[in-house]
Structure 1
Amino acid sequence: MTARLTLLGTKGGPAIRPGGPSPTSSLLDLAGRRLVVDCGLGVARGLVETGMKLSELDLVFITHLHSDHVLELGPLIHTAWTAGLNTPVKVYGPVGTADVWLHFCASLAYDIETRIDDEGRPDIRELVTVLEYGEGGVLAEDGLTVSALRVDHPPVTDCFALKFEADGKSVVFSADTAFFPPLAEFARSADILVHEALHPEGLERLVARTGNGARLRQHLTASHTFAEDVGRIASQANTAHLVLHHLVPADDPEITARDWSREVRKTWSGELTIGSDGLVIPLD
């Protein structure tokens, strides 16, 4: 299996609009494993579009419990189950992830019980193990290691950047965060740094068309990173390749890839990719 990163959904925030991108999710092929990182709305469709068989799902990582990162966790696993999943799935997420899964199963109890009895399926609740993590080591298995760094995403306290390492390669996901200098050391010399980004002009356009604009501006500027500062983190980390993800805004036609690049290039001169849904980035 070729090591690669596929961006499934690149929009920051839970809303979707006609013809626009989906909320946050990614697929990382590394160490012969297929790792799903975050489960925003549309993740199941995105995985299918990559050619992945949902019945092969086995590792899922959630960075934090905002809906644009976790809304489709239960539906993804359930859809995989209806597609033939009969092998264990491990879900790694912050404190509270187990409750998300438990309550999803409770809400679908009628369907689950019916399909077990009527279709002879294994009990989905027995296939899934949720492991809640904090800062530090998350997973070490068959040459794959995953570690976490708590980042600054108020008011969410349990929000974690994740670093995936295997076969001499490393990929770091910032998760959602304000400008957070310790992330640079965490991402030191990563092959790919996948970082969220906020565009200043796009922010003002978004605020102008939103009813609660002043409150929205306050939240976004306190808990997300302007693209220029993303470039600073990448430069300090000496990463090989910077990928912008969780774009705010991602669906404003006036804010183009060129506009994003112009902001990042103020502080970053290395390889740069502006994320879009379905984009595949090889690690080799």
Structure 2
Amino acid sequence: MELYFLGTNAGVPSLERNVTSVALRMLEERRTFWLFDCGEGTQHQILRSPLKLSKLEKIFITHLHGDHLFGLPGLISSRAYQGGEDPLTIYGPVGLKQYIRTCLELSESHISYILDIVEHEGGLLFEDESFRVEASQLEHRVTSYGYRVTEKDLPGKLDTAVLESYGIRPGPLYGKLKRGQSVVAPDGRILHASAVQGKPKKGRIVTILGDTRPCESVLTLARNADVLVHESTFLHELKDTAHTYYHSTSRQAAEAAQQAGAKQLYLTHLSSRYKYEEQLIEMEQEARALFPNSIIAREHVLYDVERTVY
């Protein structure tokens, strides 16, 4: 898994940064990517990226402010022209369906693929054999959600030397053992998966938040996360401004990562007042003073989501 930031600015785009959108690329895990928020211009950012709209599987909208969803109508329409034939599911707060349907109907946009719009009020949104996605409401001027993506643990590597001693070669029996099932060897011996499997690979947790003040839901969503993507609209000297407008500072983001036991913090949703590199460095250093693994998210950079080793 890798994170790819398509927009890191708050409110409006600037010459330096686009408005909010971040991709979770999962080419190895499911040959797709998921998108979190879709500010205006996101599809243009994708054109400049290694991402392909045809591989977009899911979109998660945190809230209905324009800098987080004005890019949706164009992206939805363009996806079909860029080879997108598989179904696309979009999750978000109540009102999202009306917004999308109205835009598509009034513009007479015709979508050739299945578009499923899921309005939610938090809780478990999606689960399959590999991933689980949960949402909780944050504290913002409008209903805003954070998302917690949990990758399930993967089975450990098979010991091929032991398998050969049982006369078992790559094939269907390998698959059963990987799934934790016992098998019967060619000589009639029963072989249990636990005897030939290494330690499982621990699944990763990625938490991506919408706009928010510090609140308990942030800590719940970010608990033991491998990666936390947290808004950092202001430096802490403007903490009162942040509170008034229901946002967070870089220090508050670092406090959340520290308290939740997260492993890596990415700061995004930066006020357009911070235009210069030295200002971004100051914001990063402010967070690192509390939480050393803090990084200002840069657009068009791939960030690996590292796996914890048991």
What interval of TM-score do these two structures reach, taking the shorter chain for normalisation? Answer: 0.7 to 0.9
User: What is the deviation of 1:80?
Assistant: 1.1
Contact 1:137-1:148 at 8 Å conserved across structures: yes
User: What is the deviation of 1:280?
Assistant: 1.3
User: What is the deviation of 1:201?
Assistant: 7.3
* Aligned match for 2:13, one of 16, 30, 40: 16
1:283 maps to 2:302? no
1:75-86 alignment to 2 at 5 Å? 75-86=74-85
State the partner residue of 2:231. Answer: 196
1:152 maps to 2:151? no
State the partner residue of 1:180. Answer: 215
Q: 1:264 to 1:219 in 2, by over 3 A?
A: closer
* Distance in 1 (alpha carbons) for counterparts of 2:291 and 2:263: 11
State the partner residue of 1:70. Answer: 69
* Aligned match for 1:258, one of 281, 287, 304: 281
> Which residue identity lines up with residue 130 of structure 2 in the other structure?
G
State the partner residue of 1:38. Answer: 37
State the partner residue of 2:3. Answer: 5
* Aligned match for 2:294, one of 252, 269, 272: 272
Q: TM-score, normalised by structure 2?
A: 0.76
> Which residue identity lines up with residue 186 of structure 1 in the other structure?
L
State the partner residue of 1:120. Answer: none
Q: 1:181 to 1:278 in 2, by over 3 A?
A: same
Q: 1:250 to 1:43 in 2, by over 3 A?
A: farther
Q: CA RMSD in A?
A: 2.2
User: What is the deviation of 1:134?
Assistant: 1.2
Give the match's secondary structure for 2:214: coil
> Which residue identity lines up with residue 303 of structure 2 in the other structure?
I
* Distance in 1 (alpha carbons) for counterparts of 2:43 and 2:245: 31
Give the match's secondary structure for 1:22: coil
User: What is the deviation of 1:141?
Assistant: 2.4
State the partner residue of 1:226. Answer: 249
Contact 1:203-1:248 at 8 Å conserved across structures: no
Q: TM-score, normalised by structure 1?
A: 0.82
* Distance in 2 (alpha carbons) for counterparts of 1:202 and 1:66: 25
- Structure 1 unmatched runs, 5+: 113-122, 205-216
Contact 2:211-2:247 at 8 Å conserved across structures: yes
* Distance in 2 (alpha carbons) for counterparts of 1:251 and 1:236: 27
Aligned length: 253
User: What is the deviation of 1:200?
Assistant: 3.4
Contact 2:213-2:242 at 8 Å conserved across structures: no
* Distance in 2 (alpha carbons) for counterparts of 1:89 and 1:142: 19
Contact 2:234-2:242 at 8 Å conserved across structures: no
User: What is the deviation of 1:248?
Assistant: 1.8
State the partner residue of 1:26. Answer: 22
* Aligned match for 1:163, one of 125, 143, 148: 148
Contact 2:93-2:121 at 8 Å conserved across structures: yes
Contact 1:12-1:250 at 8 Å conserved across structures: no
Q: 1:230 to 1:59 in 2, by over 3 A?
A: same
Contact 2:85-2:112 at 8 Å conserved across structures: no
User: What is the deviation of 1:149?
Assistant: 1.0
Give the match's secondary structure for 2:86: coil
User: What is the deviation of 1:59?
Assistant: 1.0
User: What is the deviation of 1:179?
Assistant: 1.4
